[in-house]
Amino acid sequence: MAIIKSDMVRARIEPAIKERAEAVLEKLGMSTADAIRLLLTQIALRQAFPLELTLPPDERLPEEK
């Protein structure tokens, strides 16, 4: 049996956000580590962030003329 090497990833997150996300992930049958692994795998495969990131309308910068 081959041993798969792995690296540790650490991040700081507000406890309330972490708890809410973990509750959703649990309903999906995923762990936080699964979600992070999925995100990083998709970034590597797509060579781009896998979600469209936009500012909320009330925080957008004014149009330049």
pLDDT > 80? residue 64: no
Note the pLDDT tens digit of each residue in 7-25: 999 999 999 999 999 999 9
pTM of this structure: 0.76
How far is 4 from 44, CA to CA, in rounded Å? 18
Torsion of CA 44, 46, 47, 51, to 10 degrees: -100
Note the pLDDT tens digit of each residue in 38-52: 999 999 999 999 999
pLDDT > 80? residue 65: no
